[in-house]
Structure 1
Amino acid sequence: MKKIYFLPVAFLFLTACQTMPLKPESTTLSSEVSTATSTKVESSEPRPSSTVTVSENEEILSKKITVSEITLTPIDVYEIALESYPELHIYSLGLDNDRIYGFVYEVEGVNEATEQKIELDIHPVSGKIVHKEEETWHIKDQMKKELTRERITNIQSLVDQTLAQNPNATLDEWVAEYDDGRFELEVEIYSKNQKHEFTYDLAN
């Protein structure tokens, strides 16, 4: 009787061991670890946002900018220059094709208080001042030739108009300043391997 009693117990014990769900626990654990890792990565992405911005700026500054990549307008650059140097009287504003940065804005002005001429190169995408020069300057005559914000409002549309009227041309440079007794915009383009200049009156 003892022998008959023992066998069913042993049989039940072995059957229970065989049916223990080990694999599902392992799968569930793996899934939980994977989900936790994914959540951690996602939640940590916003933290280095400033680092990403710096990286993007470095990338922008390290490449030559083409005309189509320019995002800042002449007015934007005018205001950036005045924000950096509030005492600056701007008398020349232009876009030049620089060998390092590609297209770059050039701003020239004078500081009446310090009698300094200041030249700034401003990146056309980031707005950063990438180059600056200062020198003593006789400013009496230059003060009368200051470019006001009102005088430069039409620059971008005039440049766009020039390129639209010459669809196969590429922009070389433009500059707005006082010349020959008036405020004017001079736009230089290349078309069919020839250089062409267009001059517009900025008096109004």
Structure 2
Amino acid sequence: MKKIYFLPVAFLFLTACQTMPLKPESTTLSSEVSTATSTKVESSEPRPSSTVNISENEEILSEKITVSEITLTPIDVYEIALESYPELHIYSLGLDNNRIYGFVYEIEGVNEATEQKIELDIHPVSGKIVHKEEETWHIKDQMKKELTRERITNIQSLVDQTLAQNPNATLDEWVAEYDDGRFELEVEIYSKNQKHEFTYDLAN
């Protein structure tokens, strides 16, 4: 009788030893699949090739330009950009107040022939390109609407108007581009340690 009971117990014990590792192996496999999926998602993100060129005339950057020293108008800068890149479709033009070298014009656009997004920083007095960046464009860049010369004819007068209506304010920056279904100019000023933003419609 003892042998009759011993054999089933031994059989069950051996069976349990063979089936127990299945659970941890399954867990390990699941973990590896999850990690591989995550890695695949990260590697699928676009990695645009880009080149950055800074003007050889480095002394330009040492001159911190104030708003009263700006001599070039938005139209001047627009034409300078197109002279350097005739195929450029400009969709953003602005004046940025850089902490290091003061005010500088910024232009963004796309070159459909080379499928590149181009960003330019242009000195507001000399008109020299002090910084240039080219990279493979993204879908969002392709969908931007072109800012034509006619759209920017009133930018300077609108900026001057904003400052005239706020005599104690200082200009921080402005940008013109297509947003919210229309071409807009956004002007930011500081007055009494507070930032104020004004938006104008650039539609003709």
TM-score normalised by length of structure 1: 0.69
Q: 1:144 to 1:9 in 2, by over 3 A?
A: closer
> Counterparts of 1:75 and 1:166 in 2: how far apart (Å)?
24
Checking the alignment, whether the CA contact within 8 Å between 1:89 and 1:143 is kept in structure 2 is no
Shift of 1:120: 0.3
Structure 1 gaps, min length 5: none
SS in 1 for 2:121: strand
Q: Deviations over 1:16-35 (max 9, x none)?
A: 99999999999999999999
User: Which range moved further: 43-52 or 77-86?
Assistant: 43-52
- Corresponding residue number in structure 1 for 2:190: 190
> Do the aligned partners of 1:57 and 1:126 also contact (CA within 8 Å) in 2?
no
Q: Tell me if the contact between 2:71 and 2:124 (Cα under 8 Å) persists in the aligned partners.
A: yes
Please say if residues 92 and 176 of structure 1, whose CA atoms lie closer than 8 Å, have aligned partners that are also in contact: yes
Instruction: Tell me the CA shift for residue 5 of structure 1.
Output: 176
Q: Deviations over 1:53-95 (max 9, x none)?
A: 9999876542100000000000000000000000100000000
1:151–1:202 contact (8 Å) kept in structure 2:
yes
SS at match of 1:140: helix
| CA separation of 1:53 and 1:159: change in aligned 2, threshold 3 A | same
1 CA distance for matches of 2:55 and 2:139? 40
After TM superposition, give the deviation of residue 15 of structure 1 in Å: 148
Q: Which residue of 1 aligns with 2:92?
A: 92
Aligned to 1:110: 110
Cα pair distance change 1:41/1:128, threshold 3 Å: farther
Report if the CA contact (8 A) 1:104-1:121 is conserved. Answer: yes
Task: Tell me, in whole angstroms, the C-alpha distance in 1 between the residues paired with 2:11 and 2:117.
Answer: 100
CA distance in 2, matches of 1:113, 1:18: 65
Contact residue 51 and residue 134 of structure 2 kept, 8 A = no
| 1:151 correspondence with 2:146 | no
**Normalized against structure 2, the TM-score is what?**
0.69
Q: CA deviation at 1:190?
A: 0.3
How many angstroms apart in 2 are the aligned matches of 1:139 and 1:12? 63
What's the offset of the Cα at 1:196?
Answer: 0.2
Q: Which moved more, 1:92-101 or 1:192-201?
A: 92-101
Tell me which of the two structures has the higher relative contact order, counting C-alpha pairs closer than 8 angstroms and 6 or more residues apart: 2
Larger radius of gyration: 1
- Work out the CA distance in 2 between the residues paired with 1:16 and 1:98: 72
How far apart in 2 are the matches of 1:71 and 1:22? Answer: 77
Sequence identity (%)? 98
CA RMSD after TM alignment: 18.0
Q: CA deviation at 1:142?
A: 3.7
The alpha carbon displacement at 1:96 in A equals 0.2
